[in-house]
Amino acid sequence: MKKQERVETILRRLQEQYPQTPVPLDHSDPFTLLIAVLLSAQCTDKKVNEVTPALFAAGPDPAAMARLEESEILTHIRQLGLAKTKAKNVKRLAELLLERHGGAVPDSFEALEALPGVGHKTASVVMSQAFGVPAFPVDTHIHRLAQRWGLSSGESVEQTERDLKRLFPKEAWNRLHLQIIFWGREFCTARGCDGRHCSMCRELYPNRRKPVIWRKP
């Protein structure tokens, strides 16, 4: 199967499997999405969703969050990895939204990535899911599957993002990155598939003999 055929197969099968693509992180607006994505670094979405209800009740918007003491934010998110750093970043981020952006979440990559704790992936999630701007945030699932499906060398997360953007139509990016994540969590897991077991890998590479040793991000 040629690469373009694989691309078309992936688009078709993922749309059939996941016609709806809800954002896995619970949120109610761009601010709570931004905070939730920031907190999700080195954590599962499930764990983040367990702590954010109390955090967002205490700090539902930038002004309220900025008024909280760093120690109070830490109390709400203590069970997350890197909690101390995240608490510091959440408070300073809220303050900077007030100082620089009138209390609103900016809708540009440059402005988002200038905020503490916000890298390109976090900015991409917010731009795509909060503002509908085409983006292709690459997490560990997407990085792994892009290699197993022969879409990228996996040399770096940046390279994977460039390859996927080149291969897939821009209008599909915002739903497709979530669909790939869902497939990676459900079927093509890190340990449950090695490029030869899930139904997608078998369809794309029916004659594959050796496992795919993927490059971790």
Burial label for 20, CB within 10 Å (0-12, 13-18, 19+), is exposed
Question: Quick one: pLDDT at residue 217?
Answer: 84
Q: Which CATH class is domain 136-204?
A: mainly alpha
For the entire predicted model, the pTM comes to 0.93
- Work out the average pLDDT over 62-88: 98
Nearest CA to 119 among 9, 4, 217?
217
Give domain 30-131's CATH superfamily: Hypothetical protein; domain 2 (1.10.340.30)
* 113 in Cβ contact with 123 (< 8 Å): yes
Supply angle C-alpha 10, 131, 127, rounded to 5. 65
Catalytic, out of 45, 61, 107, 139 = 139
Query: Can you say how many angstroms the Cα of residue 180 is from the centroid of all Cα atoms in its chain?
Result: 11
121 is catalytic: yes
pLDDT digits (tens, 9 = 90+) for 165-179: 999 999 999 999 999
Q: Under DSSP, is residue 39 helix (H, G, I), strand (E, B) or coil?
A: helix
How many CA atoms are closer than 13 Å to the CA of 184, on its beta-carbon side? Answer: 19
pLDDT digits (tens, 9 = 90+) for 76-94: 999 999 999 999 999 999 9
26 is catalytic: no
* 10 in Cβ contact with 1 (< 8 Å): no
